[in-house]
């Protein structure tokens, strides 16, 4: 990738990373710890009509998301790269099972088991936000499990989530308490906790008709209280010593220019954990893939084509 000159913090050494800016116009065998219980994950499979025969891509969504969020991008990457794409529902999301343990080590357990169960070798792990930290966790503790990773708008550091996330949880709890029967009712309640309509629409994708025929109101398919209690865990990162854990294979970090999750100050620590990392700036907020899909797609395609 071609680096674009840009003023950087004096804390950074230019040899530690590569940077590319994309504007809105461009648009083997391994083991899982027996001490933890991995869950079987739901997934969608995209193979470009059977034409995708390359190494697999595994897509990991963010908090409150699901495999559906990445459907269009998964199809596009499968088409452009001739590679099959597995879009997962992480635990406590989508159609995957629920569990009180929602830490990154548990999310990584599930992901590693999925790779093993489906015999996915030389895979690329792409993760956004929570999914990004999950991909980083897998790569650092089990480097043989994947060929490279793409981390979208998150860094391998302990960093508080945006204050909006507790509000979202509170709003969803209020929706649950109201026992609404329509999405319109839910949206009206949620508006006090999430002002932006796209955010409310994203959260309300989790609101479904109850599978229990005796329940006549809508329910969230995600365990709102479990995820609410796990927000502090989602802010943490399980590794603190890059001298003990490194992923020396290629890694791409994609950050939104209007987001705070991957600041310049985090780049040196990214470089220590992932010494071969490249950085791409995409003009967007935290929701990089939905806000600027074309720029994200081009960044991923270019990076992965370089690896071929």
Cα distance between residue 129 and residue 124, in whole Å: 16
Could you give the CA distance from residue 235 to residue 165 in angstroms, rounded to a whole number? 11
> 74, 96, 286, 290: which is the annotated catalytic residue?
286
Could you give the CA distance from residue 150 to residue 210 in angstroms, rounded to a whole number? 35
- Name every residue whose Cβ is closer than 8 Å to that of residue 70 and which is 6 or more positions away in sequence: 59, 61, 87, 128, 289
* 191-200 CB burial, b ≥16 within 10 A, e <16: eebbeeeebb
Taking the C-alpha atoms of residue 109 and residue 206, their distance in angstroms, rounded to an integer, is 24
DSSP state of 285: S
286 is catalytic: yes
Given the residues 74, 129, 145, 259, the one annotated as active site: 129
- The 3-state DSSP class for residue 280 equals strand
Question: What residue has token string 């990991």?
Answer: 60
Q: Tally Cβ neighbours within 10 Å of residue 284.
A: 23
Residues 161 and 144: their CA atoms lie apart, in Å, by 30
The catalytic site residues sit at 129, 286
């Amino acid at each position: 990738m071609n680096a674009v000159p840009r003023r950087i913090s004096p804390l950074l050494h230019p040899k530690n990373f590569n940077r590319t800016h994309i504007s809105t116009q461009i648009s083997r065998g391994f083991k899982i710890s027996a001490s933890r219980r991995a869950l079987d994950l739901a997934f969608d499979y995209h193979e470009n009509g059977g034409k995708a025969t390359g190494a697999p891509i595994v897509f990991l969504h963010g908090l409150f998301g699901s495999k559906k969020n990445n459907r269009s991008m998964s199809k596009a990457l499968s088409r452009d790269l001739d590679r099959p794409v597995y879009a997962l529902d992480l635990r406590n999301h989508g159609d995957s099972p629920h569990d009180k343990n929602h830490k990154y080590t548990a999310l990584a357990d599930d992901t590693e088991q999925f790779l093993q169960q489906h015999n996915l070798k030389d895979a690329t792990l792409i993760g956004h936000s929570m999914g990004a930290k999950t991909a980083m966790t897998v790569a650092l503790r089990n480097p043989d499990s994947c060929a490279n990773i793409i981390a979208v708008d998150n860094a391998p550091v302990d960093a508080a989530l945006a204050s909006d996330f507790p509000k979202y949880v509170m709003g969803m709890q209020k929706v649950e308490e109201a026992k609404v029967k329509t999405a319109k009712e839910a949206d009206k309640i949620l508006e006090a906790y999430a002002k932006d309509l796209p955010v409310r629409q994203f959260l309300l994708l989790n609101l479904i008709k109850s599978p229990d025929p005796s329940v006549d109101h809508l329910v969230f398919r995600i365990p709102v209280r479990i995820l609410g209690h796990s927000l502090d865990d989602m802010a943490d990162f399980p590794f603190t010593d890059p001298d003990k854990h490194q992923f020396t294979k290629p890694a791409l970090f994609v950050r939104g220019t209007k987001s705070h999750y991957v600041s310049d100050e985090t780049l040196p620590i990214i470089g220590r954990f992932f010494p071969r990392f490249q950085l791409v700036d995409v003009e967007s907020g935290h929701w990089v893939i939905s806000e600027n899909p074309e720029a994200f797609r081009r960044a991923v395609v270019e990076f992965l084509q370089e690896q071929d």
